[in-house]
Structure 1
Amino acid sequence: MRRHELTDEQWLVIQPLLPVSGARGRPRVDDSRVINGMLFKAKTGVAWRDLPRRYGPWKTVYSRFWRWSRTGTLSVLVAKVQVLAEAIDELDREVSLDSSIVRAHQHAAGARRVPVSHTGASGSCGGQSEPGDHAIGRSRGGLTTKIHLACDGHGRTLSVVLTGGNVNDRTQFTTVMAGVEFRRRGPGRPASRPSSVLADKGYSGHAIRTYLRRQRIPATILKRRDQRANRLRRGRAGGRPPAFDRAAYRRRNIVERCFNRLKQFRAIATRFDKTAASYRSMIDLATLRLWL
């Protein structure tokens, strides 16, 4: 095993989960070599043309990555590994949410406009930056992408939504929660209700708290200072403050550690991909490595 590559044990886990190639046509290039090439690209952030020769022709690795990005193969692979984790009771259903802004490199700008339905990602932008479906927006730091993320109690990614960097966190809360699933082996729908939700004051809003109450999900969300002052100013009309568990809130930093581990992959810490679908697949590669 070389640096940034899968171990033999990790390869034995994902090998049965990969899609089966057709019988016709040219023999398929070794999957382990191609996936290791993708991981090397995600970890180091090098251009596709600069991949080491031990991974074979760079066009082969890129073509497989491009095809798996469009078909959602990498996302399905991550979901299958999550099923294995749930089967051995490693999944912690305490969910933490947060977002992080990533600077878009100049190579990420200038992609052609694609209908939103073809990308599977959402976003918005201001000024003359980028189409909304590319999840690149213009904020104070320039062209940026925002990663909205939910992770389990072990700091492993459960749901990801990409938007432009100028999109407010609260607008994507329900979208991120809709992607949270706890899958089990066998028939039936996956569970989607976490045991509790932890979030910072950026998610402190009446609509979010109402949504969680209707879904019967316990939540620990820090209330903003202006909201606390407004409630005190109104006296009895302000009502009782929402319950807040300080001991549970200390565990919210698990999502910060999840972002730190994801951004150890340089292709995620800086966005080089032009389309949101390709960048999301880079996040899927890093997520797969964390789950393994």
Structure 2
Amino acid sequence: MVRRHELTDAQWRAIEPLMPANGRPGGQWSEHRRVVNGVLFRARTGVPWPDLPERYGPWQTIYERHRRWSADGTWQRILAELQIEADAGDPDGALARDLEPEWAVNIDSTSCRAHQHAAGARHRAPRLPGKGGGTRVEADGREALGRSRGGLTTKIHLLADDRARPLTWITSPGQRGDSPMLLPVLETLRVPRRGPGRPRRRPDRVRGDKAYSSRDNRAYLRRRGIKATIAEPGDQRANRHHRGRTGGRPPAFDQAQYRRRNAVERCVSKWKQFRAVASRYDKRDYIFNGTLTVTTIIIWLRDTVQEPSETT
């Protein structure tokens, strides 16, 4: 019987071939599906790891597997494969083109209040890939935690497609501004292709609110041939008018395209249905990013996997 927050049979069949081989020196892995369901239960409910239900097995196994797969990139590889399949299944050959003849992405950020259990991680120097598991690089701002008006917070800067699915993201301290993060987030966008060909890294259009309106951001998008649908704040508009002819022409703005930016807000709403995303409980930034990746995998599975219809 499939319980709430657990993988359905169809969803498990979609990711089962992508899981690590069920064997390692010194012993066998526990059943992957039970472990993944335990990780999902914790992500959905936000309970401490020791409070996981006994049906998922020892909580230490669930936590250690999640920590290991967050560090060595296993979760990220599974998500990448789901995106490759979605891209290959698009008859137009572009990810999430939907009804428009272009690939548009939507950028925004959201803040996650850090629980007191997320604070106090010991300083750890960057570690290269190798023995001990994965790449652990100290995030800017000490584990991507910072002080803002909401207290100790982490900010997630993300790109979402028009079907409200996360494509890529970067975590930063909560006080970090949005505008300087547009370039770094776009640089992380990478959707590999099935077969030959370079990964998709350049969307046709970027939509963002007025927080991303700056001369540098617009110039960057113009150099890369990316259309910008970014609202202009009132102070920038007033300053341009004040300068007269030297202020230049107003930037192009498509109101109809801007209305579709709500996809990223709906994406954040889906994300924060998981309590371990709405509030950060993980001390380490790489484990929190693993939690973000697991929940993103579920969002993609729910959108792409067709459940068999019930027969009467």
Range into which the TM-score falls when normalised by the shorter chain:
over 0.9
**1:123–1:167 CA contact under 8 A, matched in 2:** no
Residue 4 of structure 1 corresponds to: 5
1:207 to 211, 216, 223: 216
* CA 120–76 in structure 1, closer or farther in 2 if over 3 Å, else same: farther
Residue 151 of structure 2 corresponds to: 142
State the Cα distance separating 1:235 from its structure 2 match.
1.1
Residue 132 of structure 2 corresponds to: none
For residues 1-292 of structure 1, the aligned pairs below 5 Å read: 1-22=2-23, 24-89=25-90, 91-92=96-97, 93-116=103-126, 118-120=135-137, 122-124=139-141, 131=142, 134-292=143-301
Instruction: Tell me the amino acid that sits aligned with residue 110 of structure 1.
Output: G
Q: Distance in 2 between matches of 1:120 and 1:262?
A: 24
Q: Distance in 1 between matches of 2:253 and 2:170?
A: 27
State the Cα distance separating 1:153 from its structure 2 match.
1.1
Q: Distance in 1 between matches of 2:221 and 2:299?
A: 28
Instruction: Tell me the amino acid that sits aligned with residue 194 of structure 2.
Output: R
Q: Distance in 2 between matches of 1:251 and 1:20?
A: 41
Instruction: Tell me the amino acid that sits aligned with residue 38 of structure 1.
Output: V
Give the TM-score of the pair, scaled to structure 1.
0.94
State the Cα distance separating 1:285 from its structure 2 match.
0.8
* CA 121–80 in structure 1, closer or farther in 2 if over 3 Å, else same: farther
Q: Distance in 2 between matches of 1:32 and 1:251?
A: 36
State the Cα distance separating 1:183 from its structure 2 match.
2.3
1:224-260 C-alpha deviation (Å, 9 max, x unpaired): 1000001111111111111000000000111001001
**1:4–1:39 CA contact under 8 A, matched in 2:** yes
Q: Distance in 1 between matches of 2:179 and 2:87?
A: 29
Count of residue pairs brought into register by the alignment: 284
Aligned to 2:168, the other structure's residue is in SS state strand
State the Cα distance separating 1:19 from its structure 2 match.
1.9
**2:204–2:225 CA contact under 8 A, matched in 1:** no
* CA 189–147 in structure 1, closer or farther in 2 if over 3 Å, else same: same
Q: Distance in 2 between matches of 1:238 and 1:214?
A: 21
RMSD between aligned residues: 1.3
Could you tell me the percent identity over the aligned residues? 50
Q: Distance in 2 between matches of 1:25 and 1:170?
A: 49
* CA 102–284 in structure 1, closer or farther in 2 if over 3 Å, else same: same
Q: Distance in 2 between matches of 1:223 and 1:239?
A: 14
Aligned to 1:144, the other structure's residue is in SS state strand
State the Cα distance separating 1:120 from its structure 2 match.
4.3
**2:125–2:138 CA contact under 8 A, matched in 1:** no
Give the TM-score of the pair, scaled to structure 2.
0.88
State the Cα distance separating 1:24 from its structure 2 match.
3.6
1:208-230 C-alpha deviation (Å, 9 max, x unpaired): 00100000001100011000001
Instruction: List runs of 5+ in structure 2 lacking aligned partners.
Output: 98-102, 128-134, 302-312
1:53-78 C-alpha deviation (Å, 9 max, x unpaired): 11111111111011111101111111
Q: Greater share of helix residues, 1 or 2?
A: 1
Runs of 4+ aligned structure 1 residues displaced above 6 Å come to: none
Q: Distance in 1 between matches of 2:248 and 2:114?
A: 44
**2:87–2:193 CA contact under 8 A, matched in 1:** yes
State the Cα distance separating 1:191 from its structure 2 match.
1.2
Q: Distance in 1 between matches of 2:24 and 2:136?
A: 29
Residue 128 of structure 1 corresponds to: none
